[in-house]
Amino acid sequence: MFKNMAITEGANSPGGGLFSRELEAPRGSGRRRGLVVGAILLVLLGLWLWMRGSEGGALRALSPVQRQALYQETWRDQRARCLAPGERRDTAEQCQHRAEFLLRFPQCDVACRAELAPSFSPVSP
């Protein structure tokens, strides 16, 4: 009944049978290469997202003109709300957070850091 319905040539045939190992694609090399490339792409994507999401990354993404304008505006707020003689208009936490933000700008030099120092000291009651 199934005499004429042979699926494979014999195991002794030159090409091997249908289920022969000779017909299989090499295992591991393509899969391993794909995993390595995928891992590298994931790491690069993670780094890109981290840099874009951080404040430092956001600052680097600004044009120099935009960065300078933001720096000047933030400094005006810091001086008016936290460093002006008399009472602070913002909380100590707000002043410290704004001061930390200003430190991330490349324009913040030694003089800038010295002027920001009071923003990091605790406020006496």
96-124 pLDDT, tens digit per residue, is: 999 999 998 888 999 999 999 988 876 55
Which backbone phi and psi does 21 adopt, to 5 degrees?
-70, -25
Please give the Cα distance from 21 to 16 (Å, whole number). Answer: 8
User: Among 75, 85, 73, which residue's Cα sits nearest to residue 111?
Assistant: 75
Please give the Cα distance from 29 to 122 (Å, whole number). Answer: 60
Q: How many C-beta atoms lie closer than 10 Å to residue 98's C-beta?
A: 19
Question: Identity (one letter) of the amino acid at 15?
Answer: G
Q: So what's the pLDDT on residue 47?
A: 74
pTM as predicted: 0.52
Q: So what's the pLDDT on residue 46?
A: 77
Low-confidence ranges of the chain (pLDDT < 50): 4-6, 125
Q: So what's the pLDDT on residue 111?
A: 92
Q: So what's the pLDDT on residue 44?
A: 83
Q: So what's the pLDDT on residue 27?
A: 63
